[in-house]
Amino acid sequence: MAEYRTVRMSFWNDPYIEGLDTKAKLLYLYLFTGPYANNLGILEVTRRKIAYETAMSQQDVDKYLADFEANGKIVCDSAHNLIFLTRFIRHQTSTSPKILQGLKQLTASIPSPIIAKALCVRYPQVYGIETYPPIPYLYPMPTVCIP
């Protein structure tokens, strides 16, 4: 007899998702699975298009996107019709050197400084910034200032 195991999906087990109403769940899932996101988790799509494809009113889309942004789940730049999913890279891609190199190449095409800054803060390794804590030295070291 074959042994069956229950596969737990982290998306549905997330306490944040469990607390959303039906329309909000639909919209959040749409953002992750829709055809507009690149590998960085940046979507270039109008709110009108989102409303049309999810059969929600534009007011509902605006309300839920504002809620997601207030909760740190997305960063919006309405001037460029961009939405950055702050947890996309963590949930969708690995951090292998080849994937990381591809993500670094995509950063050059980000037209929004708001989204670029949010990406850098959330995933500094994509920009090649090491996040290791500095090693405290017992004795000060003289340094040479090189312009």
Sign (positive or negative) of CA dihedral 16, 115, 67, 21:
negative
User: DSSP code of 80?
Assistant: G
CB atoms within 10 A of CB 89: 21
52 vs 122, higher pLDDT = 52
Between CA 136 and CA 138 the distance in angstroms is 7
- Name the pLDDT band for 146 (thresholds 50, 70, 90): low
Nearest to 47 by CA among 35, 32, 71, 65: 65
**pTM above the 0.75 mark?**
yes
Structure token pair of residue 132: 């290791």
Which pLDDT does position 61 carry in this prediction? 97
How would DSSP label each residue in 15-29? HHHHTS-HHHHHHHH
**Encoded tokens for 62:** 């605006």
pLDDT at 48 over 80: yes
Residues 6+ apart with CB under 8 A from 114: 75, 77
Domains of the chain: 10-127 (1.10.10.10)
Task: Determine the pLDDT at residue 103.
Answer: 86
For 66-110, what is each residue's pLDDT tens digit? 999 999 999 999 999 999 999 888 765 556 778 788 888 888 889
Mean pLDDT of the chain, nearest integer: 84
Alpha helix ranges (H) inside the chain:
10-13, 15-18, 22-33, 47-54, 58-70, 88-92, 97-107, 113-122
Q: How far is CA 120 from the centre of its chain?
A: 11
